[in-house]
Amino acid sequence: MIGRLNHVAIAVPDLDAATKTYRDMLGGAVSQPLDQPEHGVTVVFVDLPNTRIELLHPLGDGSPIANFLARNPAGGIHHVCYEVSDIIAARDRLTAGGARVLGDGEPRIGAHGNPVLFLHPKDFFGTLIELEEV
């Protein structure tokens, strides 16, 4: 059911410093910072040949990654995103198997304009999983 690794999202306490590290030390192709107020984050994309890294920084009050950074002040991997071809079919298969979908269980439009869902990390070995319909 799951397909390509769409991205790995890393929450960072200092977006400028993290961007410089990925660009200058790691030699990555980094984007300009992109504010995504509807998701409460500012994102820098790092394009890799086979996937993408997303550097996430909180934007505004109540950012979904604020608590994560409070618990992980140096930053850390926040979630991984797998592609699926049919997000409703994926959700129904997962919930039938006992997995918990975060929020109201309905896909919403994610950072790339496609429907996404998040799965409870306690059901997946401590990893927050995003599914994106591509």
Footprint on this chain of Co ion (rule: CB under 5 A): 9, 81, 130
* 65 token code pair: 């990654």
In the complex with Co ion, the residue whose CB is nearer, 24 or 106, is 106
Least distance in angstroms from the C-beta of 9 to Co ion: 5
72 in Cβ contact with 81 (< 8 Å) = no
DSSP letter for each residue of 69-83: HHH-TT-EEEEEEEE
Q: Catalytic: 54? A: no
- In the bound state with Co ion, the residue whose beta carbon lies nearer, of 83 and 130, is 130
The 10 Å Cβ neighbour count of residue 112 is 14
User: Shortest gap between Cβ of 39 and Co ion (angstroms)?
Assistant: 9
Catalytic residues: 130
